Amino acid sequence: MAKTLPDIDVPDLSGKLAVVTGANSGLGRGLADRLVAAGAEVVLAVRDTSKGEVAATELLKDFPAATVHVRELDLASLASVAQFSSALVAEGRPVDILINNAGVMMLPTRQVTADGFELQFGANYLGHFALTAELLPLLRKSDSPRVVSHSSGLASQGHLVWDDLQSVRAYSPTGAYNASKLAMLMFGRELQRRSDAHGWGLLSTAARPGMVHTNLVKSGPKQGGANMQSRLIEFAMRLPGLSQQVPQGVLSALYAATSPDAVGGEYYGPNGFHGYTGAPVVSEVPKQALADADSARLWTVSEELTRVHFG
């Protein structure tokens, strides 16, 4: 008998507007599929709009009555983040769900964003920090706004080196990636604390997908040729029971974004072996992410680096 794959029930999202970054493929595309299927209007926030248009066409083929928008957003450019956000703010439509999903993974050599940040820390984290701040007015216009920050199980191995956040002195593909995902987790939790303190009305959570077959996992570490990271990932992906496909990989973020039982400040991830696969449950938070002082410090540093402020 075939094994039953995990799934969750998604409530009716008719009338809701969701923004999903990196929505043309992988986890972002899988999240867009489920949100559209539940009736949400979805903004596909993508770096490559031609790929975004292909994704939108496919979505509309499956859901002809859906409303899907393709908008250009390069999270490695604060100017692009500002332009994207300004356009939405000018339109004035409340944003009900923001899923900060897009990212790059384990680049073999240190690269930088348009603003000079190390690419993984800049695109995976700082770009989303700025995006959330600039969309805060639209989130606050929603009756029940949610922000989901996509982290990773590798956040548990992450460490923020305060005097070298941009990995100038020492760069490691895995170290930079893990730090960026730890930062995303810390941001999701700190955003809830600040929302509670300032009355923003947000439900902010973090989520990790487990081990999922996506282009990000396959292509990131291979830029510039195969390396130890890509070989280890490929090996793990071939082992039975240690990985899952996108429809299951999106469940933790989808739960955080839509479930009436999701709790602000929590961290959701798969419940299977080592958290690689399974249905979403509350996940263990790494030690540094539990330190409120560190999260507050990261917030202050992030405002200084991006020159973007919440409030």
DSSP state of 224: T
Number of alpha carbons in the 13 Å side-chain half-sphere of residue 261: 9
Catalytic site residue from 125, 171, 177, 255:
177
CB 209 within 8 A of CB 249: yes
CB 112 within 8 A of CB 196: no
Token pair of 21 as six digits: 């970054």
CB 15 within 8 A of CB 97: no
Task: Kindly state the helix (H) or strand (E) to which residue 207 belongs, with its residue range.
Answer: strand 203-207
- Residues with Cβ within 8 Å of 163's Cβ and at least 6 positions away in sequence, in order, are none
Taking CA atoms, 63 is separated from 36, 102, 168, 219, 277, in Å, by 7, 23, 47, 30, 28
- Residues with Cβ within 8 Å of 269's Cβ and at least 6 positions away in sequence, in order, are 153, 207, 208, 209, 210, 252, 275, 280, 281, 283
- Residues with Cβ within 8 Å of 171's Cβ and at least 6 positions away in sequence, in order, are 109, 110, 118
| Beta bridge mates, 118 | 112
Would you call 255 a catalytic residue per the annotation?
no
Pairwise CA distance, residues 37 & 258, whole Å? 13
DSSP state of 212: B
Q: Which residues are catalytic?
A: 177
